[in-house]
Amino acid sequence: MAENVLIIGAGSGSGIGMGLVQHYCQQGHQVQAISRQPRPALMASEGVSWLSLESSQTDDESERSEQAINKVVAEAIRAEPALIFICQGWLHDNQHGPEKTLRQLSVLQMYKSFEINVVQPALYLKALFSYLTRQAGIKVLVLSAKVGSISDNQLGGWYSYRLSKAAVNMLVKTNSIEVGRYNKTASVVSLHPGTTDTALSAPFQANVPSGQLQSSEATAKRMAAVAAALTPQLSGKLLNWDGAVLPF
């Protein structure tokens, strides 16, 4: 049965977000896509409503960001989505790579990692809060990473990314408890998508075991399968790409 799907972080910079948009369109669903980038030419499908963030008129950058998110979310939930993906993620850029040692830690890198991987998902969950507390059967999957699991950390390194992903897992867990007090049918989880062939993983793909690197299309299909099987009993969990519960 066709349903409305909201995908946050769907721009060209997010291979996973774009893959999800394409997957659900191909399945005949109506898609609301939120991005900072304009609608890509290849997303001309009538099944996609592309919503771009617009900067508000204020000198405070954080306030400007929150106002823009509130506005675009208010527009998106008019379609009453039954399924929501939040796909923000940042690991590196031309100036900053994952830290192999604490001695490489950069304040700017840590700030950027938390801004994109934690603050932005938090603002979207805040903007969605009243909708999540009243929409029966709502499902929310927030992109995370297995490296954010504290108990699973056996290698060390990657400080900013690990810290931010551990934080977003706590964000999702805490939010799931609060939403669940109002809406027992809601499911809010964090999801490790596996290693996907995107710009984020590109510098590290040589170390990925054969057969484990997935295309954006394959990752989107696996994430959609996890979403389809999601139940309120799993709310607050960190899930693997195959639906298995991962340790925090």
Task: Residue 86: give the domain boundaries.
Answer: 4-246
Q: What is the mean pLDDT of residues 42-56?
A: 76
pLDDT at 43 over 70: no
The first and second tokens of residue 210, run together, are 């054969």
Cα 57 from Cα 46, distance rounded (Å): 31
Please state the φ and ψ torsions of residue 68, each to the nearest 5 degrees.
Answer: -65, -40
pLDDT cut 70: percent of the chain above it: 87
- Cα 208 to chain centroid distance, Å, stands at 22
pLDDT at residue 12 tops 80: no
Query: How many folded domains does the chain comprise?
Result: 1
Contact status, residue 189 vs residue 237, Cβ threshold 8 Å: yes
As beta bridge partners, residue 49 has 32
Residue 170's pLDDT is 98
DSSP letters, 43-57, are ---TTEEEEE----S
pLDDT tens-place string over residues 176-234: 999 999 999 999 999 999 876 655 544 544 555 555 657 889 999 999 999 999 999 99
Adjacency order of strands within the sheet including 238-239: 48-52, 30-35, 4-8, 83-86, 139-143, 187-191, 238-239, 245-246
Position 56 scores a pLDDT of 57
- How large is the average pLDDT for residues 44-68? 77
Residues in the chain: 248
Q: Is the pLDDT of residue 85 over 70?
A: yes
Measured distance between the N- and C-terminal CA atoms of the chain, rounded to whole angstroms: 34
pLDDT at 53: 85
Spatial distance between the Cα atoms of 30 and 8, rounded to a whole number of angstroms: 14
Full DSSP string of the chain: ---EEEEES-STT-HHHHHHHHHHHHTT-EEEEEESSPPPTT---TTEEEEE----S-S-HHHHHHHHHHHHHHHHGGG--SEEEE-------SS----SSGGG--HHHHHHHHIIIIIHHHHHHHHHHHHHHHSTT-EEEEE--GGG-STT--S---HHHHHHHHHHHHHHHHHHHHHHHH-TT-EEEEE----BSSTTTGGGGGGSPTT--B-HHHHHHHHHHHHHH--GGGTT-EE-TTSPEEP-
Mean pLDDT of the chain, nearest integer = 89
CATH of the domain at 188: 3.40.50.720
45: pLDDT confidence band, cut at 50, 70 and 90?
Answer: low
Across 56-70, 126-140, 228-242, least confident range: 56-70
* The pLDDT of residue 80 is above 80: yes
Q: What is the pLDDT of residues 88-145, one digit of tens each?
A: 989 878 888 899 999 999 999 999 999 999 999 999 999 999 999 999 999 999 999 9
